Amino acid sequence: MIIEFVQAAILGIIEGLTEFIPVSSTGHLVVIGNLIGFKGQAASTFDIFIQLGAILAVVALYRQRFISILSTNKTGFAGPKALTLLLITTTPAGIAGFIFHDLIIQYLFNSVSVSIGLVVGGIGILLVERSLPKIKKSQVDLLDRRDALIVGIFQIFSLWPGISRSAATIIGGMYAGMERKTAAEYSFLAAVPIMLSAALYDLYKSIQFLSSSDMLILALGFTVSFVSASLSVKFFLRFLGKNTMKVFGYYRLVLAPLILLLLLV
């Protein structure tokens, strides 16, 4: 039991720290889960719970923004306009994920696929940083339907484990002309509907595998993920205020072969 609690804490920390920065939380969880022997159906269900903890962290940090989204306010990123933009961003990956969900789970959730995704995402980050489009939007309140659609199209790529939803949407936002921090903030906001929908769908399909004895471990993972995600989001925004994302691109390119090496040894 103690070992399971330690595993839950480790994975909760990994999920929270990596979910909203462009390094692929799914990729890290697949690899770390394999290394510590935490895998199988129970592990998959646990991953859903810790992902919900990370989602709740963003909702808590941006609670005023989400309150305004659900209001009738017609100024800035709020009310019907915000809901429309989030729907446009969510729809492409939502449809693709629904159609290909089982195939993705069956064929892509492995270390080789994750490594490929890390490399592709890393190259994408370095390319967008090398040839930055002209910055047109420095605030989330200035975004329009074109911006939302571009981010939504890029979000489709995140269905490949290792690409990273955060990386895909931030890169898409930057190509649309958003300033880095603005692209990251919109990525956080856009994460909630797509991640929540996917998590609840996965939870519905795997709820039968849960038992009352799992509740403490699930609660621990959820709580740790919530706390670490809160800290990670705050750090990432401060980081982007002064730095580029190149370090994350290089990190991914180094991590990909290390993953294969660790699992082959």
> What's the confidence (pLDDT) of residue 126?
96
pLDDT under 70: residue ranges of the chain:
1, 39-42, 209-213, 263-265
> What's the confidence (pLDDT) of residue 213?
67
| Residues ≥6 apart with Cβ < 8 Å to 229 | 15, 16, 17, 19, 20, 53, 54, 57, 58
The ranges assigned to domains in the chain are 2-264
pTM for the complete prediction? 0.91
> What's the confidence (pLDDT) of residue 105?
83
> What's the confidence (pLDDT) of residue 1?
63
> What's the confidence (pLDDT) of residue 144?
96
Residues 126, 174 contacting (CB under 8 angstroms): no
Closest Cα to residue 173, out of 194, 189, 195? 189
Distances (CA, A) of 112 to 138, 161, 221, 252: 37, 10, 26, 14
Closest Cα to residue 118, out of 25, 37, 48? 25
The Cα angle at residue 143 between residues 138 and 146, in degrees rounded to 5: 125
| Residues ≥6 apart with Cβ < 8 Å to 57 | 16, 225, 226, 227, 229, 230, 233
Residues 113, 240 contacting (CB under 8 angstroms): no
> What's the confidence (pLDDT) of residue 212?
67
